[in-house]
Structure 1
Amino acid sequence: MRPAELAALSAAEAASAAVRGTTSPNPPVGAAIVDVAGNTVGVGATRPAGGPHAEVMALSEAGERARGGTAVVTLEPCNHTGRTGPCTHALVEAGITRVVFARRDANSVAGGGAEWLRDNGVEVVHPEPDQLPAPTLDPWLRAIEVGRPAVTLKFAQTLDGFTAAADGTSQWITGPEARRTVHADRAHRDAIIVGTGTVLADNPRLTARRDDGGEYGHQPRRVVIGTREIPAGHHLAGACERYPDIATALSKLWESGARDVLVEGGAGLAAGFVAAGAVDFVQAYLAPKLLGAGHPVLGGAVTETLYGAFEFETTAVRRLGADVLVEGRVPRRSRATGT
């Protein structure tokens, strides 16, 4: 890739991250247009379902400056007519002569854009395997791969592994910077999932809130798994989606367009998702505290031997004030389903 294209990819990924949570069931794609002089002249991201895709938004901003230029896209341009036309055709009609994309589209319906572009005289660049940075797309790509929403298991714990003290107190394990990050992340998810135990114990709102107490513009769907009644007066009473079990919840969420969901608690639900092989990503907020005893992250043993432990690949480690956020991806081969 050329230096100007790497800069354009950074702009495209930032645009992608900004719209995450608003585009499902479509992917949150970002695109940037580089003109013949090497300048980024247009940046765009996919609009909510039914709206223009990232390439069209970027081309619109670039105008005539796109002619003879390069399109840098976080996902292979679609070659499919749905609620909008194929992005491949829009790129050719705008005079784009070179396309660089970071991730190959695994969707059998919309894929094949790279081949069509090459057949129509466009130079196409895509490192194999996917090596360019476009992490915002990872949950959507995993969802397409597994045929259900991608699941991120999120938890906050003391350094010795407890999510609450022996008396049940858990507010606050982590500090304000970590909590701020959690709320910002919620604003980019399709749904937040908790169990009835968490609802009854903590009476959560499950909203994405700013420091000033106001809510982010995009709010995730609030989902509760379990059959126990939510008492009147609780924040989620009559204000959430209810499902009896994990399988039903994931199936219904997928059917209704959710592709990127966050599981926040409690320990029994977390153990259930792990046992079902339905965890794709992990967010572990670690606080520099020790309790010695208390409530664990998982409400049951995953294995009786170290060799059967639930494992994930660490993808990022960030310091958030006094706390540390460890993020990871679960390899397909390590799941309980064995796939």
Structure 2
Amino acid sequence: MPFTAKSGKFNASIKTVTIGTGDKAITLGGENALPLQSFDAPFANAPKVGIEITDFGMEHEPECIQKYYEGCSSIADIAKKAASFEGVDFLSFRLEGGDPNGANKSTDELIAMVKEVAEAVDLPLVISGSKNAERDAELLGKAAEAVQGKNALILAAKEENYKTVGAAAGLAYNQVVGAESSVDINLAKQLNVLLSQLGVKPESVVMNVGTAAAGYGYEYVASTMQRVKSAALSQNDAQLQMPIITPVASETWSTKEATQAEADTPEWGDQERRGIDMEVETAAADLACGSDAVILKHPVSVATVSKLIKELV
């Protein structure tokens, strides 16, 4: 008796969100099948891979990443170099120095750097905050104004600051709003509802439902993303049908596997190889669980994950 495979195609689909302008613009979402299951239905838009740089330039980066940026003397040079690496679909600029518990750089200094990066590259931009919700309410609003006309993704609006960030990015300056929640499907949905009530269009929202490095409580991230995608597609839940972006770089490159010197743990092998492995493994898991875009740091990781996507979708 012949076997007839059951289709995994759904009537519902993930909303499409475009980031950037012109020929380099990218579109996230649009799928109506489970993650990477293109055998059930072709994916209109393959997952995208971004590369991250920060306002610190190469100051805080491991040597294995610094070597790829040799000769870069300004943040604009670093941005141009990052944009040139194989497999890069978009550039993520993180305002790490804005953290009031860290370097606490001035808003003027950081926004000047945002403008410098925006002028240096023609790739779609993701502008990420300092991870301090109160400071990011100010920083991300100013950043949205600074890149007006770029259709950038402002990452991210949180429950604590969504009114300020959402109003500035999604309403005043017509940018894409990143909605960041803490690894919980109910919190993710609630934030989407709040942004919708604020007036931000669902087609201008991308979710970051939480992230972790593989092996560091990652099962919670996996289950949350899977539940979000399942509800969006099988239950046609319109409040969860936004595409997902996952910042991988800052999580994986702070793990002991990526930071422990080879001299201290020779049995672990090459430090650079370990860092790349952590980044690639985490990104691959995110894509398999439902992420429509991942943000990485090491050029080899970017090229590897980009090739993986091309083979699978």
Q: Which has the higher contact order (CA 8 A, sep 6+)?
A: 2
Identify the structure with the greater strand proportion. 1
* Structure number with bigger Rg: 1
TM-score, normalising length: structure 2: 0.31
TM-score, normalising length: structure 1: 0.29
